[in-house]
Structure 1
Amino acid sequence: MSLKRRAQPASSQDTSSKKAKANFFAPRTAPAPSSLIQPQFVFSKKQDGSLRLTTWNVNGIKSVDEKVLKKYLEAEDPDIIVLTETKYGKGKPDIMCLKTKYKHQVWGTDPKAGQAGTAILSKQKPQNIIIGLPTWHGPSEETAGRFVQLEFEHTYLIGTYVPNSGENFKSLDTKKKWNEAFKEHLDSLDTDKPVIWAGDFNCIPSKKDLDQKAQTFWNNLAGLSEVERTGLDAILNPPKTDDRKLKDAWRHLHPDTEEFTHASLKYGAWRLDSFILSEGILDKVQSCEIRHELKDLNLSDHWPVTLDFFGPL
């Protein structure tokens, strides 16, 4: 289409009183694409004497926009961050905002490229590190991408990406094997010092942790079966009353609230990610919040959960 316009006859009216017209040929500035508009995060500051821990299923660390990640970490300022489903291979990803903030990094990777992956990044130096579930009955590399443990002076910190029971529950036996081995390991740890367990648990304990759409899949989808709920409950609530118990920190602080950490168009919204703590240190939890601010930024199909914990680890 030609942009040439015909000359207009001069008007007899006084043109000085007329509103100036925009220059048709002047270049126009296109609005910035929404993908280039960086969000601004504002979170409450942690109190003096407390530590902030964050857990987040990133659904592939290399797919997360580094500029947005940097802004989020600057606003959140966690002392420790547990990343799950990193889908990262051996070594550490070359992500500057992670390298500069966290001196101590432990990346557990799955033997199958592009699957699982669990990492704990800490500003504090741990006393000891374990990658892979120690009580797993099989090659240790099978759980290297699903279990990372850091020991500190007063607590054990565990990050997990618990196995999914799979389509039509085809991997349910693996999930049951994991639950039994994990329970055995936690039993041994808690007799020594308290545990903070963070990550994606791939199990929904109650219908309160699902939206209305997701509830229609109750007992018929991975993570929603009675077998998986029973396995998780056995970990949290051992049958003997003198045994240790663990509590879901977010649910403890929000007993009747319906909020979620993951969503999909097909299966609705779920609360899959949280912090689970030994009952004896639950009173040190100051807050536990789901960061819905990251929900619609296309960073991951999950969003972070943050725990403020009073006292040293």
Structure 2
Amino acid sequence: MKFISWNIDSLNAALTSDSARAELSRGVLNTIIDLDPAVLAIQETKLSPNGPTKKHLDILNEKFPDYKRVWNSSTEPARKSYAGTMFLYKNHLNPMVSYPEIDAPNTMDAEGRIITLEFDHFYLTQVYTPNSGTNLVRLKERQIWDEKYADYLTALDEKKVVIATGDFNVAHKEIDLAHPRRNRLSAGFTDEERQGFTNLLAAGFTDTFRYLHGDVPEVYSWWNQRAKTSKINNSGWRIDYWLVSDRAADKVLVSEMVDSGMRQDHTPLLFEMALD
């Protein structure tokens, strides 16, 4: 089966804005459509608590006519039009859908950060991991999130093979970002966040990109859009992942970045696996 994951940084902007960046986003969507995934996972939808509007749905129906949709939006007491996730999956698929809460701190459980699809022989779950924020104001809460999320995946793994994707908001090792020394105390590359990801993998999960490609350098999934030359110079970070249960790693066929052209921010991730 073929899957794609993408932090879209506002579904509304990608579908309805007239900006130059939105045009680039729609180009990426067209690339995804051409790849024809069985499932598309989208993070940072930034939709209202009511989810997509009729206009959004009409456009999605036009672009993805053979797909069903489920979403999880940020709701009170969390900020509105913040975070959020969505799955689009082929009409012939009939997974059980859940919107897990993991006993995360503050408003994190209300921010629409996780959706899980349960199939007969595996779970497919996506996450938009909380960012530790400017001056690391959310780092302690992020550490608790990492522990709770690892517990959640481990519980799923006891029942079926787990495929987990999304924006994990951490560059795991120095090879996973262009300037590790410069960013040692930046959100997404603190010792605490990196250790949290190490702990997650140690709980029984495989980073499929590294499993297939080894320590290939200078391959990233995110480039800062505030730095105009970040993508031209490939000053990026690898913070988006496809993980699988260790026992299923040998079934992974493809785990790679999709070319998003000149669009900065996140690029989609393509994943293929031999599944029953």
Distance in 2 (CA, whole Å) between partners of 1:305 and 1:205 is 17
Structure 1-normalised TM-score?
0.74
Aligned to 1:227: 192
Q: Which residue of structure 2 aligns with residue 77 of structure 1?
A: 36
Match of 1:167 among 127, 131, 134: 134
Partner of 1:305: 269
Task: Calculate the aligned-residue CA RMSD, in Å.
Answer: 2.1
1:152 maps to 2:152: no
The change in CA–CA distance for 1:107 and 1:85 in structure 2 (over 3 A counts) is: same
Larger Rg: 1
- TM superposition shift of 1:91: 2.6
For the Cα contact (< 8 Å) 2:3–2:37, is it kept in 1?
yes
The CA distance in 1 between the partners of 2:269 and 2:209, in whole Å, is: 9
Query: What amino acid does structure 1 have at the position aligned with 2:267?
Result: W
The code of the aligned residue for 1:54 comes to: I
Q: Which residue of 1 aligns with 2:46?
A: 87
Aligned-partner residue type, residue 192 of structure 2: V
SS at match of 2:86: strand
Q: Which amino acid aligns with 2:157?
A: D
Out of 153, 166, 182, which is 1:217 matched to? Answer: 182
Q: Which amino acid aligns with 1:121?
A: L
- Residue in 2 that maps onto 1:131: 99
Code of the aligned partner of 2:83: A
Does the 8 Å contact 1:295/1:302 carry over to 2? no
Tell me, which stretches of 5 or more residues in structure 2 are unaligned?
Answer: 15-22
Candidates 144, 162, 169, aligned match of 1:202: 169
Once the two structures are TM-superposed, the CA of residue 218 in structure 1 deviates from its matched residue by 3.4
Query: Contact 2:133/2:187 (CA < 8 Å) preserved in 1?
Result: yes
1:172-217 CA distances to partner (integer Å, 9 max, x unpaired)?
1210121111111112111100100000000111011111xx3233
Q: Given residue 270 of structure 2, which amino acid in structure 1 is its aligned partner? A: T
Partner of 2:19: none
Q: CA–CA distance in 1 between the matches of 2:41 and 2:85?
A: 7
How far 1:106 moved relative to its partner? Answer: 1.3
One-letter amino acid matched to 2:181: T
Q: Alignment length, in residue pairs?
A: 249
Distance 1:210 1:106, change over 3 A: same
Of all paired residues, the percent bearing the same amino acid is 28
C-alpha distance after superposition, 1:77-122 (max 9, x if no partner)? 111011011111223332234551312x111111222311111111
1:207-256 CA-partner distances (Å, limit 9, x unpaired): 11111xx3233321001000111111111103xxxxxx100111111112
CA contact (8 A) 1:250 1:274 kept: yes
Q: Following TM superposition, where does structure 1 have runs of at least 4 consecutive aligned residues deviating by more than 4 angstroms?
A: 137-141
Distance change in 2, residues 1:184/1:218 (3 Å): same
For residues 156 and 246 of structure 1, what CA distance do their matches in structure 2 show?
13
Does the 8 Å contact 1:132/1:140 carry over to 2?
A: no
Query: Partner amino acid for 2:222?
Result: H
**More displaced 10-residue stretch of structure 1: 83-92 or 225-234:** 83-92
Is the aligned partner of 1:272 residue 2:239?
yes
Decide whether the 8 Å contact of 2:105 with 2:141 is kept in 1: no
Q: What is the match of residue 20 of structure 2?
A: none
Distance in 2 (CA, whole Å) between partners of 1:139 and 1:301 is 27
Which residue does 1:31 correspond to in 2?
none
Structure 1 counterpart of 2:182, one-letter code: F
Measure, in 2, the Cα distance between the counterparts of 1:85 and 1:74.
19
The residue identity in structure 1 corresponding to 2:260 is L
Q: Distance in 1 between matches of 2:214 and 2:13?
A: 34
Provide the C-alpha distance between the structure 2 equivalents of 1:200 and 1:218, rounded to a whole number of angstroms: 18
Whichever residue aligns with residue 236 of structure 1, its letter is L
2:211 is matched with which residue: 246, 252, 257? 252
- Residue 241 of structure 1: aligned partner: none
Distance 2:39 2:88 in 1: 6
